[in-house]
Structure 1
C-alpha cells in the first residue's frame, strides 16, 4: 500500500471522525471566547482583542490556560488534516468536475483558516506572539508596496466579503443542515440546533464581511491603516449609531455559532 492509498484510507476511517469532533469542539470554544470578548467590548471593556489571537491570549490567562491553549492548537491542526484529506480525496461522488474542484478549493481554504488559528494558539502557548505592533495593517502596507498593490488589497477585500456573504447565505437558506446527521436535525433538539446554526452563520458572515469592507476601504483610500482584522471590524460596529446593541447582537450570534460547533461534533455528517 503506497502513501496515497494510506491517506485515502485515513480519509474514510472512523478515527478521523473522532479527530474532527475534537477539532470542532476546539473551534466552538474559540468562537465562544471571541463572542465573550465582543460583548465585553460592547460593554466598555477594551482590555482584550476580540479576535482569534485575542481569544487565545484570554484563554491563556485562565487557570490551566496554557494546557487549554495547546488543546485548542491540537484541535485546529486535526481539522487541518481533515480538510487536506478532503481536498485530496473528497467529493469523488460529485459528477460536475467544476463543482467538485470548487468544493475541494473551499476545503483547502478552510485548512488555511484552521491552520492560522492553530498557529496563533501555538504562538500564544510558547509566548512567541507578535504582540499588537504588527498585524493586519502592516501586512496590508506590504501588499500596497507591490506592483498593483492597491488592486491586490481590493481583491482581498472582495474575496473576504464574498466569503462572509456565503456564510450569510448558508445561514439564511439553512444549507448548513448538511453538516448534521438525521438525528441532529429532528425533534426539539434538532430544531434548536438549526436555530443556533442559522443565527451563528449569519452573524459570523456579517462580521467577516465587515473585515473585507475594511480592506476595500483601505484600497480605495490607499491607506493601509484603514484595514484591520475582526477586532477592528467590531470596533467599527461599536462606533455606529446603536453600535452597542448591534455589537452585542453580533457577539451573541457568534456564540450561537460556537454552540452549533458542539452540536455538529455530536451529530457529525461528512
Structure 2
C-alpha cells in the first residue's frame, strides 16, 4: 500500500499538470513581489500609507478595477505553488542521495509554508477579513516567548531566518538560481536580462529576509516581542538608516527584479 502511494506521488510529481501549476503560481508570485516593490518605492519617496508586506500588496491590488477578482487569482496561483512544493517535499529530489535529498525536501516544505501564508493573506483580503485583530509578527513572537524556553525558541527562529537570507544571497552570487531556468532561458539578450534580474532579486530578498531575522534575534536578546517584525517593519528599519530613502529604493528595485525573474521562470521553467 505504501509502495503504491509512493508510486502515485512520483507520477504526480513528474506530471505535466505540475509544470502548469508551477508556471501559473510563479506568475502570481511575480505579481506579489512587484506590488511589494512598488509599495516600498512609495515608502522611499515619503508615502507612509501602505504596508510593504504580502497582505499590503494584496490590499493594494484589491483597490484596482476588478481587484477582488485579481486577488482571488493570486490566491489560486499561490495555492498551486503550495501544491507543487508539497508534492516536491514528499516525493521530489530523487536524483539526490541521503542527507542532501532530505535537506532539499525540507526546503521545499518550507517554501510551501511561505506560499501558503501569502495565499491566506490574499484570501483574507478577498473575503474582507484582513482588517483589525491582534495578529502580526509581534503577537506570534509573544506566543513563542511565553512558552518554556521561549526566548531560546525566538532566537532559533531568528537565526534560521538570517541563515535563509544568507542562503538567498549565496544563491544569487553563486549563480545557482540559474538551475531554475531552462538552457533556452539563459540564451541571448533576454537570457542575460533574466540572469541579471535573478542576481539582483535574490540579493535584495536575502538582505530583506536577513533584516527580518535580525529583528527576531534582537527581540530574543531584549526579551521584547515588540522588537520583532515582518517585511514591512524590516523595510521601515532600512528607511531609518543614513541615506535610508536611497537604500530602500535600491532594495525595492531589487525586489521588483525578483518579481520579473519569477515571470522569466514561469516562461522557462526548469524543475
Q: Same fold, TM exceeding 0.5?
A: yes
Aligned residues: 269
1:208 aligned onto 2:209: yes
**Aligned counterparts of 2:81 and 2:184: Cα–Cα separation in 1:** 23
Q: Distance in 1 between matches of 2:161 and 2:73?
A: 28
Aligned match for 2:93, one of 91, 94, 105: 91
Matched residue, 1:141: 142
Match of 1:159 in 2: 160
Give the aligned partner of residue 256 of structure 2.
255
Structure 1 position 7, deviation (Å): 3.0
Q: 4+ residue stretches of structure 1 with deviation over 2 A? A: 1-8, 130-134
| Shift of residue 131, structure 1, vs aligned partner | 3.1
Residue of structure 2 equivalent to 1:75: 77
* Shift in Å, 1:3: 4.6
Q: How far has the Cα of 1:132 moved from its partner?
A: 6.6
**Equivalents in 2 of 1:220, 1:20: separation in Å?**
39
Q: Give 2:247's aligned residue.
A: 246
Q: C-alpha distance in 2, partners of 1:15/1:144?
A: 42
Aligned residue for 2:20? 18
Structure 1 length normalisation: TM-score?
0.97
2:53 aligns with one of 35, 38, 51 = 51
- Where in structure 1 are there 5+ consecutive unaligned residues? none
Q: Encode CA deviations 1:75-106: one digit per residue, 9 max, x unaligned.
A: 001011111111111111113x0001000000
- Aligned Cα RMSD in Å? 1.2
Hey, what's the Cα distance between the residues in 1 that align with 2:14 and 2:179?
18
State the alpha-carbon separation in 2 of the partners of residues 59 and 131 from structure 1. 19
Tell me: CA distance 1:26–1:11, structure 2 relative to 1, closer, same or farther (3 Å). Answer: same
The CA distance in 2 between the partners of 1:57 and 1:157, in whole Å, is: 27
Distance of 1:102 and 1:15 partners within structure 2: 25
What is the CA–CA distance in structure 1 between the aligned matches of 2:101 and 2:254, rounded to whole Å?
A: 31
Return the alpha-carbon distance in structure 1 between the equivalents of residues 112 and 25 of structure 2.
Answer: 12
Q: Which residue number corresponds to residue 264 of structure 1?
A: 265
Structure 2 unaligned runs (5+)?
none
2:129 alignment partner in structure 1? 128
Report the Cα distance in structure 2 between the residues aligned to 1:261 and 1:160, rounded to whole angstroms.
21
SS in 1 for 2:229: coil
Query: Does structure 1 retain, via aligned residues, the 8 Å contact 2:39–2:51?
Result: yes
1:4, CA displacement in angstroms? 4.1
> How many Å apart are 1:184 and its aligned residue?
0.5
Question: Residue 91 of structure 1 aligns to a residue in which SS?
Answer: coil
Tell me what 1:199 maps to: 200
1:149 Cα deviation from its structure 2 partner: 0.8
